[in-house]
């Protein structure tokens, strides 16, 4: 009987639900118990956003469906849209994938408005309350929606701002920091829309990419460091699209125009055609999150002019240069480890073998009523083609190591398959600190690289060699140090949030 499962019976029913923020629930567990508890440990992206404004008579309902569908990888648990149609804002949001939620809409025609914003949401476990689904909206006294926003990122001063607003009499309906942005804009609407957004940006701190609508206008804005991505495209000269990634522009047939600038507001106005631009500060430097390239973004997206797939392939080439090794085959952990493995193969000449098969139907957690099932469980997510790796020296390339639990299991799978040597390569630097800027990460206690040096970790994983891509090499690949490397360096482009800001970073 494997030790780490003996305590299984004391775990909650949905024990295999993989969410980091269940601090309370799991903090009494030992390290090994936690491993059983978090079988799939990855950093988790928190949301994709999409906005569209058109004066053409387009099927904006389908377009927003396509755009959100292309952003599904940024959040699978809930989604929603808000549509401005003839001075009236309608909204639909629910738990489920984009195709599931859109399928329930009974009269799609009424959602074909001139302006649409949408959101795909990654929800943290304790936070499946519908009131935190996005887009958020504010109403007037007649129960009509007058303002709606969708947000990707995380504010670092949300708690304090919320308190200030509540002291002024503002009433909050939800617990997410997105509502702080909403209420600040709402409160300042007498400054005009642009003025209200500017006043809001001058108050809020942290990472935020936002799209929004009022009853007759569309807007989008991005924080002063441009931490979360936001791109602008056009379907025709009267139809603009703003989205988290360029793959959503491809999804709706839009041409990429440019990335929204840090500190920029784009908006429609009564007086002029097209989209207006306004820079709240004009000396901002873009410091987009490096992890977007490593893991979150889709490989076919291009952010700030850099294609994601290329970064991944280069990271494989670079880590070969950084830490060459003799081996028979190179395997990538699907999906994001695969391009890096191909890059490694290209650089090294060691053949790439796609022999770790991923079950595509993972998504929900298992309900396992008994204690004995762990060993069977290991192979469910990743199953090896044993004949291809038996007695081989294997380089295994993963995008990152977070808690170390998945990596340890993977090593066990490979050993069970009879692999002779294992050379583990992470194409991101060691993750030593949590993210406060829109990513769901474990606390420092649970980040394995915050607690073990490389040699300790190599022994723990029980591999023949272990290497991480260095931060310098990552800078080299990305072409510039102007990125957020906070989780690798513990140096963030914004000042650290107060401790309690952790509580609600669900957007």
Q: Is 433 exposed, middle or buried (0-12, 13-18, 19+ CB in 10 A)?
A: buried
Residue 109 vs 489, nearer CB to a second copy: 109
Q: Which of 87, 192, 351, 479 binds a second copy (CB under 8 A)?
A: 351
The answer to whether 247 is a known ligand-binding residue is no
Residue 196 near a second copy by CB under 8 A = no
Query: Least distance in Å: CB of 138 to a second copy?
Result: 7
Per CB under 8 A, which of residues 81..120 are in contact with a second copy?
A: 97-100, 102-103, 105, 108-109, 112
Residue 417 vs 484, nearer CB to a second copy: 417
Q: Is 391 exposed, middle or buried (0-12, 13-18, 19+ CB in 10 A)?
A: exposed
> Which of these segments, 37-45, 55-63, 268-276, 392-400, binds a second copy (CB under 8 A)?
55-63
DSSP per residue over 300-360, as a string?
A: T-EETTEEHHHHHHHHHHHHHHHS----SEEEEPTTTHHHHHHHHHHHH-PPB---EEEPT
Residue 349 near a second copy by CB under 8 A = no
Which is nearest to 54 in space by CA: 256, 278, 244, 273? 273
Which is nearest to 300 in space by CA: 324, 350, 335, 341? 335
Q: Which of 271, 283, 376, 453 binds a second copy (CB under 8 A)?
A: 376
Residue 245 vs 504, nearer CB to a second copy: 245
CA 189 to chain CA centroid, nearest Å: 31
Query: Least distance in Å: CB of 158 to a second copy?
Result: 18
In which region does residue 40 sit, left (phi positive, over 0), alpha (psi from -120 to 50) or beta (all else)? beta
Query: Least distance in Å: CB of 204 to a second copy?
Result: 20
User: What residues have CB less than 8 Å from 370, skipping those under 6 apart?
Assistant: none
Q: Which of 11, 36, 63, 196 binds a second copy (CB under 8 A)?
A: 63
> Which of these segments, 42-50, 258-266, 282-290, 382-390, binds a second copy (CB under 8 A)?
382-390
Calculate the alpha carbon distances from 386 to 53, 352, 354, 374 in Å.
Answer: 52, 15, 12, 20
Which is nearest to 18 in space by CA: 152, 131, 122, 98? 122
Residue 350 near a second copy by CB under 8 A = no
> Which of these segments, 23-31, 278-286, 370-378, 488-496, binds a second copy (CB under 8 A)?
370-378
| Stretch 11-40: interaction string toward a second copy, x if CB under 8 A | ------------------------------
Q: Which of 87, 354, 479, 481 binds a second copy (CB under 8 A)?
A: 354
Residue 482 belongs to what H/E stretch? none
Query: Least distance in Å: CB of 263 to a second copy?
Result: 29
Residue 188 near a second copy by CB under 8 A = no
- Is 284 a catalytic site residue? no
Which is nearest to 352 in space by CA: 373, 337, 366, 364? 337
Residue 190 near a second copy by CB under 8 A = no
Residue 108 vs 479, nearer CB to a second copy: 108
The answer to whether 336 is a known ligand-binding residue is yes
Residue 141 near a second copy by CB under 8 A = yes
CA–CA separation, 56 and 63 (whole Å): 13
Which is nearest to 231 in space by CA: 78, 58, 60, 71? 71
Query: Least distance in Å: CB of 99 to a second copy?
Result: 4
Residue 66 near a second copy by CB under 8 A = yes
CA–CA separation, 182 and 160 (whole Å): 15
Strand order in the sheet with 393-398: 329-332, 393-398, 421-426, 465-468
User: What residues have CB less than 8 Å from 235, skipping those under 6 apart?
Assistant: 54, 58, 63, 241, 252, 253, 254, 255
Per CB under 8 A, which of residues 290..319 are in contact with a second copy?
A: 298-300, 302, 307, 309-310
Residue 404 near a second copy by CB under 8 A = no
Residue 104 vs 271, nearer CB to a second copy: 104
The answer to whether 428 is a known ligand-binding residue is no
Q: Which of 250, 264, 304, 446 binds a second copy (CB under 8 A)?
A: 250
The answer to whether 398 is a known ligand-binding residue is yes
Residue 266 belongs to what H/E stretch? strand 264-268
- Summarize the annotated binding site for [4Fe-4S] cluster as residue ranges: 289, 435, 484, 487
Which are the catalytic amino acids?
47
- Summarize the annotated binding site as residue ranges: 289, 336, 398-399, 435, 484, 487
């Amino acid at each position: 009987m494997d030790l780490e499962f003996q305590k299984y019976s004391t775990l909650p029913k949905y024990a295999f639900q993989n969410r980091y923020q269940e601090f309370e629930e799991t903090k009494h567990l030992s390290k090994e118990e936690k491993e059983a508890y978090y079988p799939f440990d990855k950093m988790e992206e928190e949301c994709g956003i999409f906005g569209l404004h058109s004066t053409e008579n387009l099927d904006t309902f389908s377009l927003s469906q396509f755009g959100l569908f292309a952003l599904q990888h940024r959040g699978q648990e809930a989604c929603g849209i808000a549509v401005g149609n003839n001075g009236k804002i309608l909204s639909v949001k629910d738990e489920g994938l984009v195709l599931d939620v859109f399928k329930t809409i009974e009269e799609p025609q009424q959602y074909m408005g001139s302006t649409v914003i949408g959101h795909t949401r990654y929800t943290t476990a304790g936070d499946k309350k519908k009131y935190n689904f996005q887009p958020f909206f504010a109403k007037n006294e007649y129960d009509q929606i007058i303002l709606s926003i969708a947000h990707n990122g995380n504010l670092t001063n949300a708690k304090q701002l919320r308190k200030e607003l509540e002291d002024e009499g503002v009433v909050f309906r939800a617990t997410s920091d997105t509502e702080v942005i909403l209420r600040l804009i709402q409160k300042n609407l007498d400054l005009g829309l642009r003025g209200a957004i500017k006043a809001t940006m001058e108050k809020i701190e942290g990472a935020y990419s936002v799209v929004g609508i009022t009853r007759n206008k569309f807007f989008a804005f991005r924080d002063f460091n441009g931490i979360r991505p936001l791109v602008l495209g056009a379907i025709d000269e009267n139809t603009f699209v703003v989205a988290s990634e360029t793959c959503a522009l491809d999804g709706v047939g839009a041409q990429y125009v440019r990335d929204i600038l840090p500190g920029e507001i784009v908006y429609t106005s009564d007086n002029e055609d097209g989209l207006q631009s306004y820079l709240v500060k004009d000396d901002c430097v873009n410091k987009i999150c490096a992890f977007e390239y490593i893991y979150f973004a889709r490989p076919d997206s291009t952010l700030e002019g850099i294609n994601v797939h290329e970064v991944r392939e280069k990271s494989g080439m670079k880590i070969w240069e950084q830490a060459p090794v003799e081996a028979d085959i190179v395997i990538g952990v699907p999906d994001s480890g695969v391009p890096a493995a191909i890059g490694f193969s290209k650089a090294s000449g060691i053949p790439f073998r796609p022999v770790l098969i991923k079950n595509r139907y993972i998504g929900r957690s298992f309900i396992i009523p008994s204690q004995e099932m762990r060993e069977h469980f290991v192979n469910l997510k990743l199953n090896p083609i044993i004949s291809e790796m038996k007695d081989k020296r294997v380089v295994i390339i993963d995008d990152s190591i977070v808690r170390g639990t998945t990596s340890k299991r993977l090593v066990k799978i490979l050993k069970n398959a009879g692999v002779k040597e294992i050379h583990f390569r992470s194409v991101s630097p060691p993750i030593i600190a949590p993210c406060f800027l829109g990513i769901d990460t474990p606390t420092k206690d649970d980040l394995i690289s915050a607690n073990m040096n490389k040699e300790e970790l190599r022994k723990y994983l029980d591999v023949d060699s272990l290497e991480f891509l260095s931060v310098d090499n990552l800078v080299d690949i990305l072409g510039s140090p102007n990125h957020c490397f906070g989780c690798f360096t513990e140096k963030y482009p914004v000042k650290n949030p107060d401790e309690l800001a952790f509580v609600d970073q669900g957007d």
